[in-house]
Structure 1
């Protein structure tokens, strides 16, 4: 699977660089694997997207630091928000544009030119291809949302056109979101579960169009919930229509990538923490202590216990250099399994969105209490917590929605923070939107963070040097290319 990346990256690399050549064959990539199937390209895009959102590599993904799940043991620069020494934003940007969107773009081109088998009627074939195109489009939208939520204004309308537009402009993030919703509505309308789609290559749902409908409507809610504070009418109408159409509310419909137990397709957490024999992380005392206070039954799954059965975290933003094995709890064995699943959507996430929507007064068929409880339960069930422990946890006054302290944002914010332990990016989104839990930057944070937890990634260095005019315009439009500049929906 990895071999397919080289030709796609070769094509998509034009997105980042500009040059002119009079040779008519200049843009021909002689190394390109022209026979790559849409199924292989789709599978590669899904895996690369899941890898990027799952990996704990500080070269690629530092969102577990932003939401203070993990602390460093030796190299603390990233937990202090120095993101440029390893060009972390560059890598995040490059992977999503080239390895995900680039593969999806090529997959769509292949779908459009696939020959109909003789044993399939033309009308049936058209519907199958329509379903394939819609699935690809849904993943495009998912990926673009990650990019907008990471950076703010990004290349969008002129992106991925390397032959015609070498240096694309940056589009306003506030205009991208409604367009993504429009595209998503069109893709949902194209899905017809009376017909098949991909017979293989779909790592998430194995071509099940009914489940892709649930995924697409859940994505609609995910996009719309971020609009709640800036365009409540669009948020409400989008969420209510998506809910009516059906969304992911049970774990049986989760969008998961099943990794292998062997190289190179094992879970990236295993790759970084076990296969590489690195001891770079421990859970933070911030997070561990909160779960200790709640007597949370996910502790033995999230963390390893100390010799006396307790759970102890490390200091966030500092090097935790005491004897590694005996001074702290570590990342739980279940999470470090080579074949642990990667998650793009799960029931806990969507139920938390519905709880928030209900709290905002939207009509989603239930109360904040109902969906909050369903979200926490879905998380506990996902990690195979015993039913008796789930019941005990939910009735604790500090957990039950009716009696837990704080506003609805604080209640939902705290429990989604706990549930998203292995999903750093989604946790960061929730933290920025709800302003909960009340996390603060460590005193050791680099001055570039201005004493705050980052609310966006800075633009790639490569964009500054290669696509300079667009970069300058984009930076000015958002109010400065800083870690403290908020994306448009983060208004509080």
Structure 2
């Protein structure tokens, strides 16, 4: 008998709904102090537990060439083509959908704010996903048994829907006595959630700079007017915990598993070292000879001597409780610098320079804990804002700032073309990937909709690493 996959990632929502059905005995046996149904804020917290996976990844860090492998170099050579997105649907998106569709408890915080936070996170997860895969199940997804084979929506449609979610979140938030319970990342602080939603909105808008600058400019200014991050303490930084289930990914790899597999890449060190970048001692350790040395990117055959001769990922970034930076104030400042240069906001080069300088200062403060060295760094001719090369300078500095947030750094590289990078020799036809392939199960789980999605790629191509997503217009 042919084995049938009936969209197990959507069935989970059916299981959750069925588990909420009350039995006759509930009225007699249920202990009110041990609820069997998760509250809205508990579901939000459960979704938040997935946030570090958007950054901490043995794959994402290699596309923008932040890290090189000292051992097992397949990831930096793009060996994996197809990546599974089911866990997003069965995990955080299912949790958030339940927040948006089930009755909520006002004792956990204003219901309006629980809904707003769920919408911000839903938009954020789908933004991350569609930038990796392109078209995805959206409008017909998360429907349980109503639809086991959802269609794929275009990336443009998903962006439009995400902007709408963020609009609704911003307008729905209640700031007076508005904090919620069980919040892992902001401890319930709704004002920070409001800033986060608008900052995500602003960054998404900039992604449209080449494919739809009119819409991008409109959405960018809408978010800016509503209020974005203003200090580093507004950053969305996942607080890793001192327990094996929630510890920093790089701690697990280096310390718990003893794998010294990740070193700073040669392209990154070659850019940072000549500029005496104060972030470099944080990003990487010195080698055994006391120097900062990047490892050749994408080596076909690793060398056992590399571990001692190159700079491994910095010790402070791989502690058990090292935070995972996801959306940051400096990132928003770089976006505003570029927007000013593009003419999306007023002030021209003067505004662009002010935001560019502040972005670098803020980035240095985020990574090092102070602005020491920032003035000297900015005073160098190669770093000083130059109207003739501003877009390139902003892109390079943003690339440095987004260190370890590989998928975001990769997205900005695809959009801007900077930094100038060379693919791993002989890998993927000597091409850096432009997207990730769909999970192979989709070819049998959802055949017709899968085929329609592939045929709808805006610039053509196959379901591989080389087709371009909608906004990746050159």
TM over 0.5: yes
The CA distance in 2 between the partners of 1:264 and 1:25, in whole Å, is: 24
Give how far 1:465 is off.
2.1
Residue equivalent to 1:160: 142
Select 1:96's aligned residue among 56, 70, 88. 88
Equivalent residues of 2:237, 2:325 under 8 A apart: yes
Corresponding residue of 1:132: 114
* CA–CA separation in structure 2 for the residues paired with 1:95 and 1:335: 26
Work out the CA distance in 2 between the residues paired with 1:14 and 1:292: 46
User: What does 1:213-252 align with in structure 2 at a 5 Å threshold?
Assistant: 213-252=194-233
Q: 1:295 to 1:172 in 2, by over 3 A?
A: same
Cα pair 1:64 1:424 within 8 Å, conserved? yes
The aligned residue for residue 55 of structure 2 is: 54
For residues 393-412 of structure 1, what are the structure 2 equivalents within 5 Å? 393-402=377-386, 407-412=389-394
1:269 corresponds, among 236, 250, 259, to 250
Q: Which residue of 2 aligns with 1:174?
A: 156
Q: CA deviation at 1:175?
A: 2.0
Corresponding residue number in structure 2 for 1:362: 344
Out of 416, 433, 440, the residue aligned to residue 454 of structure 1 is 433
Q: Provide closer, same or farther for how the CA distance between residues 387 and 195 of structure 1 changes in structure 2, counting only shifts above 3 A.
A: closer
Please state if 1:475 is matched with 2:454: yes
Q: Say which SS state the counterpart of residue 193 (structure 1) adopts.
A: coil
* Aligned equivalent of 1:464, options 437, 443, 449: 443
Instruction: State which of 340, 358, 364 in structure 2 corresponds to 1:374.
Output: 358
Shift of 1:307: 3.8
CA deviation vs aligned residue, 1:397-444 (integer Å, no higher than 9, x gap): 1111138xx732211111111111121111111111111011121223
User: Following the alignment from structure 2 to structure 1, what is the Cα–Cα distance between the partners of residues 231 and 120?
Assistant: 20
Q: Which residue of 2 aligns with 1:311?
A: 292
Deviation of the 1:154 alpha carbon: 0.6
2:72 corresponds to 1:75: yes
Q: Specify the alignment match of 2:275 in structure 1.
A: 294
Q: Distance in 1 between matches of 2:21 and 2:425?
A: 50
Equivalent in 421, 433, 439 of residue 421 of structure 2: 439
- RMSD over aligned Cα atoms: 2.5
In structure 1, C-alpha distance between the alignment counterparts of 2:315 and 2:21, rounded to whole Å: 41
Change (3 A) 1:174 1:387: closer
Unpaired stretches in structure 1, ≥5 consecutive residues: 1-10, 18-23, 118-124
Deviation at 1:296, TM superposition (A): 0.9
Distance (whole Å) between structure 2 residues aligned to residue 231 and residue 472 of structure 1: 26
Shift of 1:179: 2.2
Partner of 2:31: none
Are 1:63 and 2:60 an aligned pair? yes
Residues 299/341 of structure 1: CA separation in 2 closer, same or farther (3 Å cut): same
Alignment partners' CA distance in 1, 2:177 and 2:383 = 44
Choose which of 316, 336, 356 in structure 2 pairs with 1:334.
316
Q: Matched residues in 1 for 2:366 and 2:17: separation?
A: 48
1:258-306 deviation digits (Å, cap 9, x = unpaired): 1112222111121122211112222111111111121111111111012
Q: Does 1:280 align with 2:261?
A: yes
- C-alpha spacing 1:30/1:181, structure 2 compared with 1 (3 Å): closer
Q: Corresponding residue for 2:396?
A: 414
Comparing 133-142 with 39-48, greater Cα deviation is found at 39-48
Structure 1 CA distance, aligned partners of 2:432 and 2:413?
A: 10
- Give the SS at the match of 2:50: helix
Q: Distance in 1 between matches of 2:403 and 2:124?
A: 20
Q: Is the 8 A contact 2:295 2:306 kept in 1?
A: no
Mapped pair 1:384 → 2:368: yes
Other structure's SS at 1:71 match: strand
Alpha-carbon distance between aligned partners in 2 of 1:107 and 1:12, rounded to the nearest angstrom: 21
8 Å Cα contact 2:248-2:322 kept in structure 1:
yes
Say if 1:298 and 1:385, in contact at 8 Å, map to a contact too: no
In structure 2, what is the Cα distance between the partners aligned to 1:278 and 1:489? 37
2:27 aligns to what? none
Distance 1:43 1:441, change over 3 A: same
Is the Cα–Cα contact under 8 Å of residues 72 and 282 in structure 1 kept in the other structure? yes
CA contact (8 A) 2:56 2:324 kept: no
Deviation at 1:380, TM superposition (A): 0.3
The 2-side partners of 1:322 and 1:288 are apart by 20
Corresponding residue for residue 350 of structure 1: 332
List runs of 5+ in structure 2 lacking aligned partners.
1-5, 23-34
Q: Secondary structure at the match of 1:461?
A: coil
Task: Give the distance between the partners of 1:268 and 1:299, measured in 2 at CA.
Answer: 20
2: CA distance between counterparts of 1:218 and 1:256?
A: 14
Using a 3 Å threshold, how does the CA distance of structure 1 residues 74 and 167 change in structure 2: closer, same or farther? same
**C-alpha distance in 2 between matches for 1:461 and 1:191:** 40
- Structure 1 pair 434/376, CA: closer, same or farther in 2 (3 Å)? same
Judging changes above 3 Å, is the alpha-carbon distance between structure 1 residues 197 and 385 closer, same or farther for their aligned structure 2 residues? closer
SS of 1:287's equivalent? helix
How far apart, CA to CA, are the structure 2 residues paired with 1:31 and 1:393?
61
Say how many residue pairs are matched: 450
